C-alpha cells in the first residue's frame, strides 16, 4: 500500500456545505486526504455527497452554498482563492474527468481544439499552439490513441475513445490532483478495465494523486490504496482498502458489501438495505444511518458518533457507536 506523508496533494478538513432550503448540511464535517501517486476511492449511494466533495477541490459549488472548513490543494486553500487563482488551479494543478464524456465536449468542435484551448488561453500556462498540439499528441499516444484523433469530431469516435480523450485533456496541464467522477459508469466492461489500467499507469508516470468517485465496491477494492465510505454527507468509515473490505467496522459498509452480487453466492434475491437516507429538509441529531441500522440503540438516535480507530489499526476508522459488535463480518440487513 502507498503510505502518504503530509503535505497531501488534497487535504479536506471539516468541510461543511449547506444549501438553501435544507435543514442540515449536505456535507457535514468531511475529512479526507489524497497523497501523490495515491489512488483514494470515495464510495457510497447516490446522493451521499461524493460528487460535491470532489468538486469542492475545484470550488465548483452550487449557487447559494454556505461553506465552512478547508479544502487545500498542495497546501493552498481553494475556498479562499480569488477568480484568477481559481482559473490557474483549474487549468493546471487540478483536473476532473466527468462521468459522461459526451456532455463535456462540444460536438461541433474538433477534439484537437478541445485538448489545446485550455492551455493556450490560460494565462497561467502561456503555452503556444505548436507546443500545445505536440503535448496533445504525446498524451493521446499515452492513452492509446494516435494523432488522427485531433482532427475528428466527438460524434466520430466511440464512448471509450472519448473517455480516453477526457483523460488526455485532464493531463494537459500536468495536474497534481486528478478527480475522476465515476468515469467508467457509461462504458462496457472491457473498456472499463482498459480505462482503469490506464489511470493507474498514468498516475505512476506523472506522479498524480487520484480521487476516484464510484458506487462500485469491487472496483474500489481493486484500484485504491485507501477508501472513504460516505453516507448522508458524512464519512462513515475510512481506511486502507484491504483492511476496510476484509474487516468492515461500520454497519453501512458491511451492508453495502452484503448487497454486492457474488458469483459464489446462493441463488435468490440480493440483500438490500431497508429504508431510505435521511431527508435533507429534516434536522438530524444522531447517527444518520440509525433508522436503517440493525445494530442501532438509543444512543444512536441521540448522539452522532465520532470516528474511532479499529484496535491495532489507527488508520482504519469508523463513525459508529457499535463498531466492536461487527467483528469484520457482514450484518444482516
Block means of pLDDT (10 residues each) for the chain, length 333 residues?
60 97 95 95 94 96 96 95 91 86 88 89 73 92 90 91 88 88 78 81 85 91 95 97 94 90 65 87 92 94 94 94 74 46
Sheet holding 94-97, edge to edge: 94-97, 177-181, 209-214, 39-43, 226-231, 234-240, 313-318, 308-310
- Count the residues in the chain: 333
Question: Going along 78-134, which residue ranges are E strands?
Answer: 94-97
- d(C-alpha 41, C-alpha 226), whole Å: 6
Integer Cα distance of 221 and 193 in angstroms:
14
Residue 25 backbone dihedrals phi, psi, to 5 degrees: -65, 145
Q: What ranges make up the beta strands (E) of the chain? A: 10-18, 27-34, 39-43, 66-73, 76-77, 94-97, 177-181, 209-214, 226-231, 234-240, 308-310, 313-318
* Buried/exposed code over 64-100 (b: 16+ C-beta within 10 A; e: otherwise): eeebebebbbbeeebeebeeeeeebbbbbbbbbbbbe
Which residues have CB under 8 Å from 292's CB, separation 6+? 252, 255, 273, 274, 275, 276
Q: Is 20 left (phi over 0), alpha (psi -120 to 50) or beta?
A: beta
Q: Is the peptide bond before 302 cis (omega within 30 degrees of 0)?
A: no
Cα of 293 vs its chain's centroid, Å:
25
What pLDDT, on a 0 to 100 scale, did the predictor assign at position 6?
46
- Beta carbons within 8 Å of 265's beta carbon, 6+ residues apart: none
Determine the pLDDT at residue 267. Answer: 62
Pairing status of strand 177-181 against strand 94-97: parallel
Q: How many CB atoms lie within 10 A of CB 3?
A: 10
pLDDT at 43: 96
pLDDT of amino acid 125: 61
Question: Do 202 and 30 meet the contact criterion of CB atoms below 8 Å apart?
Answer: no
Question: What is the reported pLDDT for 130?
Answer: 92
* pLDDT (0 to 100) of residue 4: 41
Q: Show Cβ contacts of residue 10 under 8 Å, excluding neighbours closer than 6 positions.
A: 32, 33, 34, 57, 71, 72, 73, 177, 209, 211
Q: Compute the distance between CA of residue 24 and CA of residue 221 in angstroms, rounded to an integer.
A: 31
Q: Number of helices and strands (H, E) in the chain? A: 10, 12
pLDDT for the residue numbered 100: 80
Look up the pTM and report it: 0.88
Q: What is the pLDDT of residue 190?
A: 78
Amino acid at each position: 500500500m502507498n503510505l502518504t506523508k503530509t503535505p497531501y496533494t488534497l487535504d479536506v478538513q471539516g468541510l461543511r456545505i449547506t444549501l438553501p432550503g435544507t435543514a442540515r448540511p449536505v456535507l457535514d464535517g468531511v475529512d479526507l486526504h489524497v497523497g501523490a501517486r495515491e489512488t483514494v476511492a470515495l464510495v457510497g449511494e447516490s446522493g451521499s455527497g461524493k460528487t460535491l466533495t470532489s468538486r469542492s477541490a475545484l470550488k465548483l459549488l452550487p449557487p447559494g452554498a454556505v461553506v465552512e472548513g478547508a479544502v487545500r490543494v498542495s497546501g493552498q486553500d481553494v475556498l479562499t482563492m480569488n477568480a484568477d487563482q481559481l482559473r490557474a488551479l483549474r487549468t493546471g494543478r487540478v483536473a476532473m474527468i466527468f462521468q459522461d464524456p459526451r456532455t463535456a465536449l462540444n460536438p461541433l468542435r474538433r477534439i484537437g481544439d478541445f485538448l489545446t484551448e485550455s492551455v493556450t488561453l490560460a494565462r497561467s500556462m502561456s503555452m503556444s499552439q505548436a507546443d500545445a498540439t505536440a503535448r496533445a499528441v504525446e498524451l493521446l499516444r499515452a492513452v492509446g490513441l494516435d494523432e488522427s484523433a485531433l482532427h475528428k469530431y466527438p460524434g466520430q469516435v466511440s464512448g471509450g475513445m472519448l473517455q480516453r480523450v477526457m483523460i488526455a485533456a485532464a493531463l494537459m496541464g500536468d495536474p497534481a490532483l486528478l478527480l475522476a467522477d465515476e468515469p467508467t459508469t457509461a462504458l462496457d466492461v472491457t473498456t472499463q478495465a482498459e480505462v482503469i489500467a490506464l489511470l493507474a499507469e498514468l498516475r505512476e508516470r506523472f506522479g498524480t494523486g487520484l480521487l476516484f468517485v464510484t458506487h462500485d465496491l469491487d472496483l474500489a477494492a481493486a484500484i485504491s490504496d485507501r477508501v472513504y465510505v460516505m453516507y448522508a454527507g458524512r464519512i462513515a468509515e475510512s481506511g486502507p482498502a484491504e483492511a476496510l473490505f476484509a474487516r468492515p467496522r461500520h454497519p453501512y459498509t458491511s451492508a453495502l458489501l452484503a448487497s454486492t452480487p457474488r458469483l459464489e453466492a446462493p441463488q435468490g434475491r440480493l440483500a438490500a438495505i431497508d429504508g431510505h437516507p435521511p431527508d435533507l429538509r429534516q434536522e438530524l441529531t444522531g447517527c444518520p444511518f440509525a433508522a436503517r441500522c440493525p445494530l442501532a440503540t438509543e444512543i444512536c438516535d441521540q448522539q452522532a458518533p465520532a470516528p474511532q480507530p479499529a484496535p491495532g489499526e489507527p488508520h482504519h476508522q469508523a463513525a459508529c457507536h457499535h463498531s466492536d459488535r461487527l467483528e469484520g463480518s457482514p450484518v444482516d440487513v
